[in-house]
Structure 1
Amino acid sequence: MWSPVMSTLAAEAARRFGDAIAVALPGAESLSFREIDARAGRCAGGLSQLGIAAGDRVVLHLANGWEWIVAYHALARIGAVVVPANIMLTGDEVGYMANDSGAKALIAPLDRAAKISRPSGAQAITPGGGDIDFADVLKGSYNDPASCEPADLFTIGYTSGTTGRPKGAMLSHGNVFASMALTATIHVRHRSDVVLSALPLPHVYGNIVMNAAFQSGMRLVVLPRFDAGEVMRLIAEEQVTLFEGVPTMYYQMLAHPDIATADLSSLTRCTVGGQTMPTAKMEAVVRRFNCPLLELWGMTEVAGPATSHSPFWPPRAGSIGLPFPGVEARIADLDQPKRNALRGEPGELMVRGPLVMRGYWNNEAATAQTIDADCWLATGDIAHMDEDGYIFVVDRKKDMIITAGYNVYPAELEQVVAMHPAVSMVAVAGVPDEEKGEIAKAFVVLHAGAKLSEGDLLDHCRKYIAAYKAPRLVAFVPDLPKTSTGKILRRSLREQSHN
């Protein structure tokens, strides 16, 4: 029986699934569950010999690959606290995490480690050389999993910092285990599945994909970075049954020249999360991939997904589904947060239950602003709920545009713009306007060879939404700025327009 802690995950997977392939690395080696456990056990021994113990924070800053996976399970095994840092982050960003968390060690590429500030005495463990070579750490004595409790701190996941310095969300073993187990259950993940992911392993979405594979016995095909053509080739070659990604990944596959001939017949379902996705684009994915596209919702502060659809439920277009079992959700009135908004009316999505973080590391003020006395976590997402309890995210609260006193939600406009057959990707942001305060501007990427004028696109929008909501400006651009996890970065578009 699984223990509800992360320290035993690799060992339990080795016991249950043995020599079955756990991790497939295209162009490199594949490792079984037993081999991952053996390497993680020796790595845990090597880390212990360096003085890293339960409760110590360690920044894990490696690219997607077996080294990241082994180091993660090794740290879990000794009860250390993982501070995951996306390989796309700058040295200054990783240095902030290391110093803010008081990290005792940093596991990072040699060239990066030399440029990252860290606390006095913190050790740098680097694959391929340096003072402490990761290969030498892997020669440690095999360590059995430490005895951990579900309430013990397991990771400090730093937010993207879109409204200031990143905050470290403290996630317990129980938080991460619950998200992993509930995600696997709702999506019916099992040992006959092959899952393909190019999501960054340090991000909660990619992390839960990996963890759910270990719990369920799935074969995980890991890519270091997303490439639409390579993903479609591997779906056929590896007979992938489950692909997981963010909206931009699906946009790029739909726009790829090989999409018409790609063999996607092995897929039984896909998931999408990280950002709202226009219904028109979701429907295009379902038609071409010929399988359900399960929209999910989550955030760092809840350790991964907290709501989703099941492949066995009737699809409800535009919805992020229902809360996981044991997770409560409500829509708070925007003016009186203690009260619930009326059904169908927008308000702030609030969640409560076993996935909610313990708080922000060394930041009691931010914790108190986010989690109230009744343990409800304010997500910052504007949403509404239908009569059956299905949740529909309208937009991020901070992305709302106020034009002439009216609230306009960029995601609603993006849904309409994306319906035009010439549009490949779109993002809407507010730009200053002397008369109205702000107006909506659409930044549009067209399909290759497509032609569309600003006037024609605005006419299209006015057919589907009220005139005050419609974009007032359109910019046709070659691409859209994205975060290190592939989310479209509206903040950057706003800054460009303000300059």
Structure 2
Amino acid sequence: MTEPQVTAQDPRPWLRFYAAGVPHRLHVPDVTLPGLLDAAAQRHGGRSGFRGLHRAVGACADTLRTRGIRRGDRVALVLPNCPWFAVAWHAVLRLGAVVVAIDPEASRQALRHQLADSGAVLVIAGAAVGERLDAVRGGTYVRDVVTVPVDGEWPGHGRMRKPVRWKPGGGGAEPRDPAVLAYVTAEGPAAMLTHANLVAAAHQLALWHPQLRDGQETALAVTPLWRPHGLLFGLTAPLLTGTRTVLLPTPEPQVLLRTARRRKATLLSAEPADCRRLLQRPAHELEALATVRTWLTGTLDAGTADRIRDSVDAVLVEGHGVPDAAGAVLANPRGANARPGTSGLPLPGTEVRIGQEGAPEVELPPGHAGELLVRGPQVCAGYWGDPAETGRRLLPGGWLRTGDIAVLGPDGYVTVIGDTPGFGSHPVQERPRP
């Protein structure tokens, strides 16, 4: 279908700079994440490993159900990037329950806050978290803790049962149900990301990269899965592209390079700080990234970006996301229209504007710095158990206050330059204890 013409007067000037093959309109099917996994297992099966993941998820969901997990329950995952995270995450969602993704390195105070605030009834964690869990569990609703290996072993390997078949109207979720509670700050509010939010973000990322070869890519997931943009790259978008994902529990450069060489990775997503650490390795070691065709990261300083381009023969894509919008907001286009040093253009289906600091309802013209506001199907439904925070951050018309200070150029490119002072501060709300 031919895309509509975009004029200079269009309120979305960024559409003129989309790369070839990226649609201007976004169509998101009305499905849940378990539905995406079912489709991926049928379509991509074999090399991608989705068929085996599907079987493991069915067995894990069956086990969680026997432990009393029901639709709407919150289940905390306190795990690094490992196969068990992927299996447990999908299994919890298949039961219609809600994932609470927590940093496995979180302090006792942050762990206590997130478990108590979310009302999580079960925790799935690695053994290393046990001592901290024991110290904070008494002040939460947690009734059960399941300890799993994080060394790369697939759960139930060699003895998986057939996947659980869920019928419409059964114990599964609906697209508008919460899927993930994502804590914006360690002791702040949790954004409620629905299945629809996460499915939309997955489509946005997949559409932004039409060059991906269906079912033939291998991605290194370095960004932690407990962060929404880690989930986006490592777990949700691959369901659409058939990408085989290799989960790295740590961004340690030598491990990353060794894995990239062995797995012949074609996609890499890493935080700017991890990119800088990687570039400290000798030039001959970076040859391990020779197969990488696309490198995704946040907005970089010019020096780091230039070193990446000089070191590897890959397309560098700088972007920006926030947890409240499923990690998907902005990205630079591939090709000549990329603007190094900027955070890029709004993704398909996304609108942005700049609001005056302290008065975000006042829209500022291009070229003026202010608070970045975002609207799109990936924006969260609100903040868990906190209507006041929902009212503060979600403005009329569906606009999300990101708390980021940014400048919107007349051509639609956005440059994020800092944070709104004090925006992330949030008084810890005392909740009744069990």
The TM-score with structure 1 as length reference comes to 0.71
- Aligned partner of 1:288 in structure 2 is 311
Which moves more between the two structures, 240-249 or 285-294? Answer: 285-294
Query: Which structure's relative contact order is higher, taking Cα pairs within 8 Å and 6+ residues apart?
Result: 2
- Aligned partner of 1:469 in structure 2 is none
- Of 144, 168, 176, the residue aligned with 2:165 is 144
Alpha-carbon distance between aligned partners in 2 of 1:281 and 1:115, rounded to the nearest angstrom: 37
Checking the alignment, whether the CA contact within 8 Å between 1:241 and 1:267 is kept in structure 2 is yes
Checking the alignment, whether the CA contact within 8 Å between 2:76 and 2:99 is kept in structure 1 is yes
Checking the alignment, whether the CA contact within 8 Å between 2:123 and 2:142 is kept in structure 1 is no
Checking the alignment, whether the CA contact within 8 Å between 1:236 and 1:263 is kept in structure 2 is yes
CA shift digits 1:51-78 (9 cap, x unpaired): 1011100001122111111001101111
Q: How does 1:148-167 map to 2 (within 5 A)?
A: 148-161=173-186, 165-167=187-189
CA change 1:370–1:249 in 2 (3 A) is same
Aligned residues: percent identity? 29
The structural deviation recorded for 1:349 is 0.5
The structural deviation recorded for 1:291 is 2.0
Alpha-carbon distance between aligned partners in 2 of 1:9 and 1:51, rounded to the nearest angstrom: 25
Structure 2 residue 200 is the aligned partner of structure 1 residue 183: no
Task: State the one-letter code of the partner of 1:152.
Answer: D
Q: Say which SS state the counterpart of residue 75 (structure 2) adopts.
A: strand
Alpha-carbon distance between aligned partners in 2 of 1:170 and 1:261, rounded to the nearest angstrom: 39
Checking the alignment, whether the CA contact within 8 Å between 1:269 and 1:311 is kept in structure 2 is no
The structural deviation recorded for 1:182 is 0.7
Q: Say which SS state the counterpart of residue 360 (structure 2) adopts.
A: coil
Alpha-carbon distance between aligned partners in 1 of 2:380 and 2:412, rounded to the nearest angstrom: 24
Checking the alignment, whether the CA contact within 8 Å between 2:286 and 2:311 is kept in structure 1 is no
- Aligned partner of 2:145 in structure 1 is 124
Q: How many residues align?
A: 379
Alpha-carbon distance between aligned partners in 1 of 2:131 and 2:286, rounded to the nearest angstrom: 46
- Aligned partner of 1:278 in structure 2 is 301
RMSD of equivalent CA atoms? 2.4
- Of 195, 208, 212, the residue aligned with 2:219 is 195
CA shift digits 1:264-295 (9 cap, x unpaired): 3212110002xx42122112211211222111
| Ranges in structure 2 where 5+ consecutive residues have no aligned partner | 1-27, 150-154, 424-434
Alpha-carbon distance between aligned partners in 1 of 2:391 and 2:161, rounded to the nearest angstrom: 42
Checking the alignment, whether the CA contact within 8 Å between 1:191 and 1:219 is kept in structure 2 is yes
CA shift digits 1:208-227 (9 cap, x unpaired): 11221222111111111012
Task: State the one-letter code of the partner of 2:354.
Answer: I
- Of 230, 233, 238, the residue aligned with 2:263 is 238
- Aligned partner of 2:419 in structure 1 is 396
Q: Say which SS state the counterpart of residue 401 (structure 2) adopts.
A: strand
The structural deviation recorded for 1:320 is 1.2
Q: Say which SS state the counterpart of residue 115 (structure 2) adopts.
A: helix
- Of 325, 330, 349, the residue aligned with 1:302 is 325
- Aligned partner of 2:294 in structure 1 is 269
Checking the alignment, whether the CA contact within 8 Å between 1:49 and 1:140 is kept in structure 2 is no
- Of 23, 32, 35, the residue aligned with 1:5 is 32
Higher Rg of the two aligned structures: 1
Alpha-carbon distance between aligned partners in 1 of 2:353 and 2:176, rounded to the nearest angstrom: 25
CA change 1:2–1:366 in 2 (3 A) is closer
Checking the alignment, whether the CA contact within 8 Å between 1:253 and 1:259 is kept in structure 2 is no
- Aligned partner of 1:112 in structure 2 is 129
Task: State the one-letter code of the partner of 2:144.
Answer: Q
The structural deviation recorded for 1:147 is 4.2
The structural deviation recorded for 1:236 is 2.7
Checking the alignment, whether the CA contact within 8 Å between 2:55 and 2:161 is kept in structure 1 is no
Checking the alignment, whether the CA contact within 8 Å between 2:93 and 2:173 is kept in structure 1 is no
CA change 1:172–1:266 in 2 (3 A) is same
Task: State the one-letter code of the partner of 2:399.
Answer: W
- Of 375, 378, 390, the residue aligned with 2:401 is 378
Checking the alignment, whether the CA contact within 8 Å between 1:269 and 1:291 is kept in structure 2 is yes
- Aligned partner of 2:16 in structure 1 is none
Task: State the one-letter code of the partner of 2:120.
Answer: A
Checking the alignment, whether the CA contact within 8 Å between 1:43 and 1:142 is kept in structure 2 is no
- Aligned partner of 1:216 in structure 2 is 241
| Ranges in structure 1 where 5+ consecutive residues have no aligned partner | 22-31, 129-133, 401-499
The TM-score with structure 2 as length reference comes to 0.82
Checking the alignment, whether the CA contact within 8 Å between 2:115 and 2:142 is kept in structure 1 is no
- Aligned partner of 2:20 in structure 1 is none
The structural deviation recorded for 1:368 is 1.4
CA shift digits 1:181-221 (9 cap, x unpaired): 11111023432111112211111121111221222111111
